[in-house]
Structure 1
Amino acid sequence: MTTQILDSEAAARSWIGELFAPTTDLWAKLDRFVEMLVAENAQQNLIAASTIPTIWVRHIADSAQLLSFDTMEGDGLWIDLGSGPGLPGLVVAILSARPVLLVESRKRRCDFLRAVAAELDLGHVEVAEAPLERVETRAAATISARAFAPLDKLLDLSARFSTESTHWLLPKGRNAVKELALLPQPWQRMFHVEQSRTDPESQILVGIGKIAAKQRGKR
């Protein structure tokens, strides 16, 4: 089945409405997040200025689609690596009740993440202001990463957070298949490729399982 690409701001909002049925309050939180993101972007480079006219497609729906690929049941921890401006982590937190840990090492970005979480009353959001290597190990039900690191490094750094049931949701743009092919075989078998709904040339690596330390560096 061909994936329908969201090609306009109206289409992005409509798709979010159909899939997640946000309440009036949640729509207001999404709108306010967009306002805060655009305003803060004038102070620090959070997103490319060229993407602001299509922010609902390029950033909000692009983040929300990860929820549509996540089949995890319950309220397990979602860890968003290199969260930056909260994409996808804050969008996930707005559209779901999942506890979300935003891992980000840059102080100004962390200040922004905390400001959004406070203003939108996202009490289930925690910000870890540190490199991933210094974040306390905890079991993740879902791990996401948008432009965090090359795939092999990403998996190596985050292996200790994974369990046999961890869901991995990793947007990798046009290089998804190439990066997957470079992984050791045990890692390759964990993942499959999904088409992005926001860019016909972008793909998302979706997987389930634990990255075992013994797999590191072995092909």
Structure 2
Amino acid sequence: MMESEAEARTWLQALPEGDALAMERLETLIAMLREENAKQNLVSAASLEHVWLRHIVDSAQLLPHVPRETVAPWMDLGTGSGFPGLVIAALLPHSEVLMVESRARRIDWLERVRAALDLPHAKVVGQRLEVIEDRPMAVISARAFAPLDRLLTLSARLSTATTTWLLPKGRSAQQELADLRNWRHVFHVEQSVTDPQAGIIVGTLAGRKGKTT
């Protein structure tokens, strides 16, 4: 379990995607985050003291759970401040990463960072999830977006039997998965590398019980 900013940076640099250019992009993201956070509350001020651990690695830890040959298209639901969407896009600059966000100020923020980091394959989808057109995704992620059953109800139409779901759920991961009743899935909980009490729901979805996909 990581506890320091130095450990977080070392962990990132050990990733296949954690090269010097990726680290530069993440440094730029952090600098912009600190500046913007004084104007709008993107993240808690206290968390900026441990930004590599709390936001960057907390997002990047999703990558090792995805087969590297099937990382795109990746859709991040309710990207908000940019986590994990912007971090994933910064680490996968040649892959299509779609960041879904409906709030105007957050859309503006995401677009400015996307341009500053020179991420032409990343796209901000400025719509509510309910109205996004159907399109199969290779990966679907969501951090603190909605309770698990509601999340699946809204987004299962974007999933195939091979789509990897990556859902950081904090302390509620095990309980939300245990309470999931109406879906056929192969989900399990992975331990977060940044928080000993947090879990990530990982796996694939076959559809609602009683239906075929």
Superposition TM-score tier, normalisation by shorter sequence: over 0.9
Displacement of 1:79 in angstroms is 0.3
Which residue in 1 is equivalent to 2:177? 180
* Offset at residue 184 of structure 1 (A): 1.4
Q: Give the fraction of aligned pairs with identical amino acids, expressed as a percent.
A: 50
- Equivalent in the alignment of 1:114: 111
- Counterpart code for 2:154: L
| Aligned residue number for residue 123 of structure 1 | 120
Structure 1, unmatched stretches of 5+, are: none
Is residue 170–residue 199 contact of structure 2 (8 Å, CA) maintained in 1?
yes
Q: Which residue of 2 aligns with 1:102?
A: 99
Aligned to 1:25: 21
Between stretches 37-46 and 161-170, larger displacement belongs to 37-46
Whether the 8 Å contact between 2:71 and 2:139 is mirrored in structure 1 is: no
Alignment match, 1:86: 82
Deviations 1:150-189 (A, max 9, x none): 11101110011001110000000001111111111644x4
2:200 to 189, 200, 204: 204
User: Aligned ranges for residues 70-81 of structure 1 at < 5 Å?
Assistant: 70-71=66-67, 73-74=69-70, 76-81=72-77
Structure 1 residues 160 and 32: CA distance shift in structure 2, 3 A: same
Number of aligned positions between the proteins: 211
The answer to whether residue 194 in structure 2 is matched with residue 190 in structure 1 is no
> In the TM superposition, what is the alpha-carbon distance from 1:32 to its structure 2 partner?
0.3
5+ residue gaps, structure 2, are: none
Native 8 Å contact 2:183 2:206 kept in 1: no
Opposite residue 149 of structure 2, the aligned amino acid is D
The answer as to whether partners of 2:182 and 2:209 remain within 8 angstroms in 1 is no
Distance 1:21 1:179, change over 3 A: closer
After the TM superposition, which residues 164-175 of structure 1 pair with which residues of structure 2 at under 5 Å, given as runs? 164-175=161-172
TM-score, structure 2 as length reference: 0.94
Separation in structure 1 between the aligned mates of residue 49 and residue 123 of structure 2, nearest angstrom: 29
Cα RMSD (Å): 1.7
How many Å apart are 1:213 and its aligned residue?
8.0
